[in-house]
Structure 1
Amino acid sequence: MFELNLPNLLTVIRILLVPVLVAALLQEAGPGESLAAAVFAVASFTDALDGWIARRQKKVSTFGKLMDPLADKLLVTAALVSLVSLQRLSAWVAMVIIAREFAVTGLRQLAMEHGEVIPASIWGKVKTVAQVAMVLLLITVDGSPTWLDVFVWLTTAITVVSGADYFFGFRSLVQARLRGEPQS
């Protein structure tokens, strides 16, 4: 059941901003890039804000646990696919990032089905900040300066390391369970 509270409302707003982002990015004339950057920045901010509010006000809900990560994936995937369409991002970079996002989400879901929680790691948080910065830079910077190419490569590497970190964490959980050790 959808509980109407501020964190869940922010998640729904983030989902509703996805088509606005895509439309702004793909429009051929006018202030599309500025609007797209603003929409992406606001949507990214709601991601941090809804989680913070939910934990602080003890408003964590089943809807939020399911829809918050989905909203994040929709936002990032829509931005990356649009940037590939605009030839501002290589398709392989988008696919690496999107594949990591869905693989880790699936892994977390699998762990949850077994009563385990894989919390966000420091690598996951660094990855999120890097991806948000990368998308904003790809929207707002004209051309493809070398420093931006390096930042895209760095973000991709952080994304891969973050994904590996989650998989090794999951592996440790499974091994501990097989040995009968208490879970942390």
Structure 2
Amino acid sequence: MKLVRYKKVPIPYTRIRELNIWTLSNFLSVLRVLLLPFIYISLFQRTPQGDRWAIGLMLAAFLTDMLDGWMARLRHGISSFGKIIDPLADKICLGALAIFMIVLRSFPIWLFLLIVSRDILIMLTSALLIRRYKIVFPANFWGKIYSFSVAMLISAYTLNASGQLILQLQMLVVVLVAASILGYAIIVYRYIRTHYRHQRMGRRHKPGGPDDDPSDTAAPAAAGPESNRTAT
């Protein structure tokens, strides 16, 4: 049987095994969502002090986003559940904050719909990957930059920044929506292509597969009688 070596494509992903829910990093992800009501109350006051409180709470939420991943790596507590809940908490927070801005700061609805559509597309794709392949991909570079740009845009609305700055941030978010979707699609495509290529290679090199040399199996049969005598 001829063995064929093939180059593996390094694709970052986590295979779903144990959920391991009760970790400190997962608690920080949930805490990020629990800060949302207090942010809304601060924004609803429509006062400089309320805006400062809102920015402070948003900064706290951003710090939990940084700390949960760092602590998971430090304590070797990276779990499949954490890979799911961390980006989900980010999407919930950004979506909720965008709604707050629509209600209280005239945030454009078209941009909100673009943000929500992007998140729904990625969540549905992630759900299909979990169900079909039992894997989940971590956030990529473009996804992290996108989340940061949305947070900057929301902060600009909170602080009533100049219209020119807000317009520039809006255009940046639009560009990064497209870039993050494209980056995620490339990672998913590479994984699926490599997965099925490995499956084909495995079937091809099974005994009796198309790459088997018939002479490998014919030789023992031809030497049958001699082998019997040797055994006795």
TM, length-normalised to structure 1 = 0.85
The residue that corresponds to 1:42 in the other structure is 60
Query: Do the aligned residues in 1 keep the contact of 2:33 with 2:89 (CA within 8 Å)?
Result: yes
Residues of 2 paired with 1:148 and 1:104: CA distance?
26
The residue that corresponds to 1:134 in the other structure is 153
Give 1:91-110 correspondences, 5 Å limit: 91-110=109-128
Q: Letter of the aligned partner of 1:14 in structure 2?
A: R
Pair 1:75 & 2:96 matched: no
Residues of 1 paired with 2:173 and 2:150: CA distance?
6
Structure 1 vs Structure 2 CA RMSD:
2.3
SS at match of 1:40: helix
Question: Deviation of residue 148 (structure 1)?
Answer: 1.9
Pair 1:153 & 2:171 matched: yes
Point out where structure 2 has 5 or more consecutive residues left out of the alignment.
1-18, 201-232
* Count of aligned positions: 181
Residues of 2 paired with 1:148 and 1:102: CA distance?
25
Compare relative contact order (CA 8 Å, sep 6+) and give the higher one, 1 or 2.
2
The one of 183, 201, 218 equivalent to 1:165 is 183
Give 1:9-48 correspondences, 5 Å limit: 9-29=27-47, 31-48=49-66
* % same residue: 27
Question: Deviation of residue 52 (structure 1)?
Answer: 1.2
Query: Do the aligned residues in 1 keep the contact of 2:105 with 2:157 (CA within 8 Å)?
Result: no
SS at match of 1:141: coil
TM, length-normalised to structure 2 = 0.69
Question: Deviation of residue 162 (structure 1)?
Answer: 0.4
Question: Deviation of residue 181 (structure 1)?
Answer: 6.5
Return closer, same or farther for 1:8/1:169 CA change in 2, 3 Å cut-off: closer
Pair 1:120 & 2:123 matched: no
Residues of 2 paired with 1:22 and 1:162: CA distance?
28
Query: Do the aligned residues in 2 keep the contact of 1:18 with 1:78 (CA within 8 Å)?
Result: yes
Residues of 2 paired with 1:63 and 1:40: CA distance?
24
Q: Letter of the aligned partner of 2:137 in structure 1?
A: I
Deviations 1:66-99 (A, max 9, x none): 3222221221111001111124321111111122
Return closer, same or farther for 1:150/1:180 CA change in 2, 3 Å cut-off: same
Point out where structure 1 has 5 or more consecutive residues left out of the alignment.
none
Question: Deviation of residue 29 (structure 1)?
Answer: 4.7
Deviations 1:126-168 (A, max 9, x none): 11221222221221134x4212211111122112210122123
